[in-house]
């Protein structure tokens, strides 16, 4: 069972202004900077973040690590900084601000936020692979890891890969590295009520089924700046596969090698106080369906 870490009431804190949730940095007992992020009440953002973290580990995706936590009665997750000393995290909107016409001040409905543009930036030859990870022999550009991030989004139904939820790390002497994947709370149907979950799992109405629900997951990426609507999470991965086919095939092979028993164990380790049985069953059904949809994809 995953532990719910208690943060001392008097932990030295530094509030984080970025994003829409209550969050702050504090120093743990080892002097390490750790981010506490409070999930919004009435959502499953905390358990979804933890579950996605463990799924990343099963896929060998470079990722921010998350643990369940509580501070002054507020439930959330904690995540040790993945930015090494001397490095600085630069988010996608700051990176893309220099592109002519790019709407870096917005978060959503940014049509310039295309899969092609993001892969071009992360695939620049000056951008090195994420630190502290094993690089497959098949990979030649850091963007090959970003293809894996997009496969993860399609797998878990993450609808929040906007330009502040990916980035590069600038190191000493201006070295550039792709950041690990982070911030996956908008996944696994975490906003659905238990009543809605039960209905979708048992309904005879095909339009209300989980099978249809998973197809509606939208990314925050577009095919082109002229596109009217964003790509679905699966379409975003397929679009990435057009440019980085070998990487896409690698990540699909990794997914095929993951035992669903290991995924089920992830959810059995989430305390019932954090996720109801209905939430777990629904999330597992989503993962089962999305795994099939991904593995049935020809890239």
> Cα separation of 247 and 172, whole Å?
28
Closest CA to 163 of 179, 142, 144, 140: 179
Residue-level pLDDT at 11? 77
The pTM assigned to this predicted structure is 0.95
Domain-by-domain residue ranges, the chain? Answer: 5-80, 83-299
Name the percent of the chain in helix, strand, coil, to the closest 5.
40, 15, 45
pLDDT tens digit string along 140-197? 999 999 999 999 999 999 999 999 999 999 988 768 999 999 999 999 999 999 999 9
Closest CA to 20 of 217, 231, 162: 162
CB 135 within 8 A of CB 142: no
What separation, in Å, do the N-terminal and C-terminal C-alpha atoms of the chain show? Answer: 38
The residue ranges of the chain whose pLDDT is under 70 are 12, 15-21, 174
Residue-level pLDDT at 217? 97
Residue-level pLDDT at 34? 95
CB 220 within 8 A of CB 230: yes
Whether domain 83-299 has CATH 1.10.3720.10: no
HSE toward the beta carbon, residue 209, CA cutoff 13 A: 8
CB 282 within 8 A of CB 209: no
Whether domain 5-80 has CATH 3.30.200.120: yes
Tokens representing 158?
Answer: 């993450």
Which residue is it, tokens 């596109």? 227
Is residue 237 helix, strand or coil?
helix
Residue-level pLDDT at 21? 57
Closest CA to 24 of 85, 83, 77: 77
């Amino acid at each position: 069972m995953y532990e719910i870490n208690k943060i001392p009431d008097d932990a030295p804190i530094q509030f984080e202004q970025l994003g829409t949730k209550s969050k702050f940095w504090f120093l743990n007992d080892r002097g390490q900077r750790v981010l506490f992020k409070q999930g919004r009440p009435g959502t499953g953002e905390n358990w979804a973040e933890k579950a996605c973290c463990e799924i990343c580990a099963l896929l060998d995706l470079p990722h921010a690590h998350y643990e369940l936590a509580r501070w002054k009665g507020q439930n959330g997750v904690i995540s040790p900084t993945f930015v090494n000393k001397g490095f600085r995290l630069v988010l996608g909107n700051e990176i893309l601000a220099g592109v002519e016409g790019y709407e870096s001040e917005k978060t959503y409905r940014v049509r310039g936020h295309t899969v092609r543009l993001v892969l071009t930036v992360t695939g620049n030859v000056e951008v090195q692979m994420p630190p502290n990870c094993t690089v497959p022999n098949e990979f030649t550009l850091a963007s090959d890891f970003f293809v894996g991030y997009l496969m993860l989004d399609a797998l878990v139904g993450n609808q929040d890969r906007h330009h502040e939820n990916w980035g590069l790390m600038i190191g000493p002497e201006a070295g550039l590295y792709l950041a690990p994947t982070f911030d996956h709370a908008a996944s696994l149907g975490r906003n659905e009520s238990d009543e809605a979950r039960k209905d979708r799992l048992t309904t005879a109405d095909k339009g209300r089924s989980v099978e249809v629900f998973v197809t509606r997951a939208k990314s925050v990426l577009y095919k082109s700046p002229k596109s009217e609507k964003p790509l679905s999470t699966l379409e975003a991965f397929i679009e990435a596969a057009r440019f980085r086919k070998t990487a896409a095939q690698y990540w699909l092979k990794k997914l095929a090698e993951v035992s669903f028993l290991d995924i089920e164990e992830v959810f059995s380790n989430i305390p019932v106080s954090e996720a109801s049985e209905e939430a777990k069953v629904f999330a597992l059904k989503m993962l089962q369906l999305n795994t099939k949809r991904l593995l049935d994809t020809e890239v």
